[in-house]
Amino acid sequence: MSATETGELEARLVARLPEILGDVRGELAEQWPDYAAFLEADIDGVLDGAAELFVHRLVGQATNPTAEPPSSDQTLQLVFEQVGRQQWQQGYDLTRLLTAYQVGARVAWRHVARTAQNLPLSPEVIAVLAESVFDFVNQLSQSSTTGYVLAQGDDARARDRYRAELAEILLSERASPTMIRAAADRARWSLPTRAALVVFTGSADGLSRLDPLALHVPQGELPSAIVDDPSGPRRTPLARALAGADAIVGPTVAIESLARTVDLCRTAVALVSSGVLTGDPVFVDDHLDTLIVHRDARLLLFLREQVLAPLDELPKRARVRLLETLTSWLRLQGDRAAVAQDLHVHPQTVSYRLGRLRELFGDALDDPRERARLTLALLW
């Protein structure tokens, strides 16, 4: 292609740009009215920018197919990366944008072909023009795809950072309701009215069993997450999902009170480890009495030493038998036959042991307060 032909082709295509963009706008109007509206509103900017660059690049490619892309392509790449980013940020699907690009490519080629046919160009040159049109649009598509994916990644990282911040606030006792709501808005997490902390004493694999909307806690001694109110009808499906996952479900409380349950969950973890609490999973709501008794191990030890002091002077085997009998008697509310069945001994043996206990404890066995203290010391 001669310089004269090159100049003529470029001049004619530039002259037709308003018509080309008008036709593209018309094609987009029915299915993509917002894109059509953009072309309508910013027609001058498009003409002076991408459209004229497209024509210059097209003609240059037809003249010298092996030439390196001009430096202006890098600027255009950044522009269309930003278009992809905006597509993600506005909540649109990427396919929608790429399809609109293809519509524009078809319209542009129709005009390029008509213009080329009116010039003395060889079939080879026209073929290169066709290839260049769609190659150019593919490059724009790739740039926008890159921007879209980068925006997704940035958004995901920001969301994870904000959710980590929200979890930290919820599990600390320094946050006001206003601070909690602001953090939830930043994290784009729907703030429930009531919630619970779920802790896994095994691996973090259990986190994958929770609802995808659960708020994972990134810091902590054990893998954990905050879940929407797991009481009522939600309890059964949650228990089913967590079966075998070594999970402890903390008490359900108002979301702003969640921090107060952290110590209870820690106590429950320790009691599960020592075998005091069992369950699959363990729901702390079911064991609040046990947690109250065991929350301070030293205090419980002092209580046991105090109320069981009458047994201190007995030989070990005798002490164990009497403790076993006393524990069963308290649990079964004094039913001797039931105690005999529970311990697999003769009822007369139970009567003998209870008589011995009355000798040691005296009136304490009939005093409601002392019996309550014995129950705390032995049954939990």
Residue-level pLDDT at 361: 93
241-286 pLDDT per residue, tens: 999 999 999 999 999 999 999 999 999 999 999 898 999 999 999 9
* CB proximity list for 142: less than 8 A, separation 6 or greater: none
Over the chain, what is the mean pLDDT? Answer: 85
Could you tell me the residue ranges of all domains in the chain?
3-155, 192-294, 297-379
Percent of the chain with pLDDT over 90: 39
Q: Any idea which of 3-7, 216-220, 322-326, 339-343 has the lowest mean pLDDT?
A: 3-7
Average pLDDT for 214-219:
88
* CB proximity list for 261: less than 8 A, separation 6 or greater: 196, 197, 250, 251, 253, 284
Residue-level pLDDT at 97: 85
The answer to whether the peptide bond before residue 315 is cis (omega within 30 degrees of 0) is no
C-beta neighbour count of 185 within 10 angstroms: 12
Residue-level pLDDT at 201: 93
Q: Any idea which of 8-17, 31-40, 216-225 has the lowest mean pLDDT?
A: 31-40
What is the DSSP pairing of strand 247-249 with strand 282-283?
parallel
Per-residue pLDDT at 43 exceeds 70: no
pLDDT range class, residue 76, cuts 50, 70, 90:
confident
Residue-level pLDDT at 70: 54
What is the DSSP pairing of strand 247-249 with strand 224-228?
unpaired
Residue at token pair 């018509």: 19
Per-residue pLDDT at 1 exceeds 60: no
> In CATH, what number does 3-155 get?
1.10.490.10
Distances 125 to 7, 129, 138, 234 between C-alpha atoms, Å: 14, 6, 20, 69
Per-residue pLDDT at 20 exceeds 60: yes
pLDDT range class, residue 15, cuts 50, 70, 90:
confident
83-138 pLDDT per residue, tens: 888 888 888 888 888 888 888 888 888 888 888 888 877 788 788 888 888 888 88
Percent of the chain with pLDDT over 70: 91
CATH architecture, domain defined by 297-379 = Orthogonal Bundle (1.10)
Residue-level pLDDT at 176: 84
Q: What is the 3-state secondary structure (H, E, C) of the chain?
A: CCHHHHHHHHHHHHHHHHHHHHHHHHHHHCCCHHHHHHHHHCHHHHHHHHHHHHHHHHHHHHHCCCCCCCCHHHHHHHHHHHHHHHHHHCCCCHHHHHHHHHHHHHHHHHHHHHHHHCCCCCHHHHHHHHHHHHHHHHHHHHHHHHHHHHHHHHHHHHHHHHHHHHHHHHCCCCCCHHHHHHHHHHHCCCCCCEEEEEEECCCHHHHHHCCCCCEEECCCCCCEEEEECCCHHHHHHHHHHHCCCCEEECCCEEHHHHHHHHHHHHHHHHHHHHCCCCCCCEEHHHHHHHHHHHCCHHHHHHHHHHHCHHHCCCCHHHHHHHHHHHHHHHHCCCCHHHHHHHHCCCHHHHHHHHHHHHHHHHHHHHCHHHHHHHHHHHHC
pLDDT range class, residue 302, cuts 50, 70, 90:
confident
Residue at token pair 């900017």: 45
In contact, 313 and 360? CB cutoff 8 Å: no
Distance CA 210, CA 190 (A): 16
Residue at token pair 């213009």: 115
322-356 pLDDT per residue, tens: 999 999 999 998 899 999 999 999 999 999 999 99
